[in-house]
Amino acid sequence: MLVKDPDTLPDRWGKRPSDRSVGELLDAGVVALDKPRGPTSHQATAWARDALHVKDISHGGTLDPHVSGVLPICLGKAVRLTDIVLSSDKEYVCLMRLHRDVEKDKLVRTAGKFAGKIYQTPPVRSAVKRQLRIRTVSELEVLEVRGRDALLRVSCDAGTYIRALCADIGEALGCGANMVELRRTRSGSMTEASAATLQDLTDAYVFWQQMGREGWLRSLLRPMEALVEPLPKVIVKPTAVDAVCHGADLSVRGVHMLDDDIRKNALAALMTARGELIAIGSMAMSTSKIMSSDQGVAVDVDRVLMERGHYPRMWRFSTDIEGMPGGGPGGSPAGDENGY
Question: Which residues is 93 bridged to in the sheet?
Answer: 153, 183
Q: Is 64 a catalytic residue?
A: yes
CB atoms within 10 A of CB 200: 18
What is the C-alpha to C-alpha distance for residues 304 and 80, in angstroms, rounded to an integer? 9
Task: Determine phi and psi for 249, rounding to 5 degrees.
Answer: -75, 160
What's the CA angle centered on 75, arms 69 and 77, to 5 degrees?
140
Q: Which of 304, 315, 221, 309 is nearest to 269 (CA)?
A: 304
Q: Give burial (CB, 10 Å; 0-12/13-18/19+) of 18.
A: exposed
Pick the catalytic residue: 50, 64, 260, 302? 64
The 3-state DSSP class for residue 74 equals strand
Within 13 A of 156's CA, how many CA atoms are on the CB side? Answer: 26
H or E element that contains 26: helix 22-27
The DSSP bridge pattern shows strands 255-258 and 267-271 to be unpaired
**What radius of gyration, in Å, describes the C-alpha atoms of the chain?**
23
Q: Which amino acid is at 298?
A: A
C-alpha–C-alpha distance, residues 196 and 35, integer Å: 9
Report strand pairing: 68-76 vs 177-187.
parallel
Altogether, the residues listed in the chain come to a count of 340
DSSP structure class, residue 132: -
Give the catalytic positions in this structure. 64
